[in-house]
Each structure stands twice: as structure tokens, then as C-alpha cells.
Amino acid sequence: MAASSPAKIFEYFVVCGIGPEIATLEGNKGFQGMEVMYMPSLLDQYPPSNQSLYPPPPPQLPTCVLPAGVEFYTSGFNSDDVATYPRSYPIVLTEGDGSKIYVACIAFRDLVCDDIIEAYKIPANSFADKCICLVSRSPSFQVLKDALEELFILCFSPAGCSKPLWDVIADMVSNVPLPTPGKDRVLFAIENCLLCAETPPKEGLPHADISFQPLVQCLDVDNLIQFFTAVLLERRILLRANKSQVPLGETYLQIVYIYIYISSLLSCNRCKCLFWLKGLEDSDEQDHVEDVEISLNVIIGTHSPQTMRIHGKMQ
């Protein structure tokens, strides 16, 4: 009976953060202080792996969704401090057989539970990084992002929701079917928000509901051609912007999709590229480089030591 169940668009809802066994990224066990990075763990998931039609989430998922590790803080969200804002981002994982796993993530600061505070003598009322995720085999980035953001809003809404949050999550993960390619859209609701999902026909182009406008807006024709060439040759890519308002974060999503798109056309599912994004200030283009705060673990590994430098400029 289970084998004949229709495929679902959402495979898992996952929570990652600081686990009951605390260890630093270097392997030192126990709490070592506030300004230290700790290994993330998988804290919870729905459905449990033994009740799911799908393989369990990959064991590297916590590390991929929180690549810098977990940090402890003395305070949580502060509307006057941008560094404390929740961060929404996608990642794409490639399994050994070349299949892709698409994950929408929201990372935020959450109160550390009292049991962990007491066990490891952590200062009271401490916060730590936590990440909630939706895992799917469908590259419906916008649907994953919208659904996860609605769940996040419900989680912290002062008004709460009409039924327990885990019931809302269970209903969504268990009952939203994967749209039939080229057929009608699938509509589903999260509390009072109506969402829809659809996939193009199988004989069409690879599916990803992402606009290419930010990428084309940042690059001229020559650099756009160089960009595609770099992806085809599996070279590392460095995007350099001479203005801080250039939307490198949005452009990053286009890079991910273009890689997936070309890989699907060439059947090079095992290819791996590292995409490296940097931002440059107008006043000191040669000497001053600022890292863009964005997850760089979407596609890991390098095949070529060369880096294709692409300069972008907002018109």
C-alpha cells in the first residue's frame, strides 16, 4: 500500500542546531565559551526516518545547512541589529548517484534549552544558532522558501495558530503531492496562506522557479558568455561587484540553477564546482575585498584550480 502512495513535494521537515553532546569544530568536547564555533546536529525531523517512503536525510545535512557551525550568544533577535536577523537561503546537495536534494533553510537565534544550559554550565538565557529546513527532490525553490517562511512566522507568532505547529507541519509534509509534470497546479494552505506548486512537462527545460534578472542585470554580454564558459569548464567562479548594492545574494541563486541546468543537459551529474562570491568597495577596488555573508556550500569541491574572474557593474 505504501509503495503505491503518490510522491510528495516535501520529503522532510528538519531542525538542526546544538545537540545534547556539545563539541567544537576542532573536536573539543563540552562548552568552551561564547566566541567558539560548535558542531551542529540534527535535532528533530518529520516524518521519522522509519515512517518515511524516502531515504533518511543525508548525515551531512546539519553541517551543510550550518556550514560555519553553531555559535552561542548572550542575546537573541534585535530589530536594531541586522546581524541578529533570521537568514533564508537554499542549498543543493548531490548524492553519490548524481541525484539532487533541494533544501530551503532559515537560520536564526533561539534560546538554549535549560537541560543543556544546566548540563554544560552555560550562562543562563543564552541563545544559539538553529536552522529549520524543508527537504525536497523537486527544484521548486520559491515554493520551498514560501512554505518554510510561513512555518517560521507561525512558530514565532504571538497569536499562535489554529492547531499545534507539528500538526501543521505533518499535514503539509504528508499530504501535498508532487505536481504531475505539465498538468494542473497543486494548491495547499498553511494556516491562512494559500500556496501553489507546479512542474513543467518532462520534455521541457529543467525546472527552477527563479528569475534570471539579477544575474543579467549585473553582467554585460561578454561577461555573461565568460560565465557560461567557466561553468562548462568546471572552473571556480569569482563574482566581483564594484558597488555594495549589487544583489550578489540573488545572483548566487542563478549560479546554482545554471549549474544544475547545464549538468542536466550534459549528464555530468558528478561534476562539482565551487562558486566564490566577493564584494568590492568603490573607494578601494584593488586592495579592499569584503566577504559576502552567504552560504557557499551549495555545491562543494573543486575540479579545476583555475578561477574565472567575472566583474559585474550595476547600470
Q: Tens digit of pLDDT for each residue in 278-296?
A: 444 444 444 434 333 333 3
* Average pLDDT value for residue range 256-273: 47
CB 285 within 8 A of CB 242: yes
307 strand-pairing partners: 236
In this structure, the answer to whether residues 276 and 154 fall within a common structural domain is: no
Instruction: Kindly state whether residue 87 falls inside one of the protein's structural domains.
Output: yes
* Cα–Cα separations (whole angstroms), residue 19 to 59, 65, 119: 14, 15, 12
Residue 305 included in any domain:
yes
Q: Which of 197, 221, 248 is the last residue of a domain?
A: 197
The single residue listed with the C-alpha cell 550578489 is 248
In this structure, the answer to whether residues 156 and 191 fall within a common structural domain is yes
18: containing domain: 7-197
User: CA 96 to CA 101: how far, in whole Å?
Assistant: 11
Of the two residues 132 and 262, the one the predictor is more confident about is 132
157/54 same-domain check = yes
Q: What is the pTM of this model?
A: 0.70
Task: Please indicate whether residue 206 or residue 217 has the higher confidence score (pLDDT).
Answer: 217
Tell which wins on pLDDT, 98 or 74.
Answer: 74
3-state secondary structure 57-125: CCCCHHHHHCCCCECEECCCCCCCCHHHCCEEEEEEEECCCCCEEEEEEEEEEEECCHHHHHHHCCCCC
User: In this structure, is residue 205 part of a structural domain?
Assistant: no
Residue 47: is the preceding peptide bond cis (ω within 30°)? yes
Q: List the one residue out of 235, 226, 244 whose CA is nearest residue 285.
A: 244
Q: Are residues 191 and 258 in the same domain?
A: no
125 and 27 together in one domain: yes
Question: 163: domain CATH number?
Answer: 3.30.450.200
Whether 17 is covered by a domain: the verdict is: yes
Average the pLDDT over 154-159 and give the result. 84
**Mean predicted lDDT score pLDDT of the chain:** 76
- Looking at 166, 197, 228, which one is the last position of a domain? 197
| Distance, C-alpha 256 to centroid of its chain | 11
Residues 261 and 167 in one domain: no
Residues 121, 135 contacting (CB under 8 angstroms): no
Q: Are 22 and 38 in contact (CB under 8 A)?
A: yes
Cα angle 42, 54, 298; round to 5: 55
80, part of any domain: yes
Residue 207 lies in a domain: no
Does 245 lie in the same domain as 190?
Answer: no
| Residue 307, domain member (yes or no) | yes
Number of domains, the chain: 2
Instruction: For residues 27 and 160, state if they share a domain.
Output: yes
More confident residue, 125 or 258: 125
Neighbours of 226 (CB within 10 A): 18
Distance CA 92, CA 60 (A): 12
* Same structural domain, 258 and 113: no
Regarding whether 221 and 74 lie in a shared domain, the answer is no
Q: Are residues 244 and 185 part of one domain?
A: no
pLDDT band for position 256 (50/70/90)? low
In 233-281, which ranges are continuous DSSP H helix? 248-266
- When pLDDT is cut at 50, 70 and 90, the band that residue 241 belongs to is low
Q: Which of 197, 222, 242 is the last residue of a domain?
A: 197
Q: At what angle do helices 141-156 and 165-175 cross, to 10 degrees?
A: 160
- What is the DSSP pairing of strand 289-291 with strand 275-280? antiparallel
Give yes or no for residue 54 having a pLDDT over 70. yes
Q: With respect to residue 204, please indicate whether it lies within any of the assigned structural domains.
A: no
**In whole angstroms, what is the distance from residue 151 CA to residue 259 CA?**
29
Q: Which residues are within 8 A (CB) of 177 and not within 5 positions of it... i.e. 6 or more apart?
A: 6, 7, 8, 9, 186
Question: Of 55-64, 137-146, 195-204, 306-315, which range is least confident?
Answer: 306-315
Does 71 share its domain with 158? yes
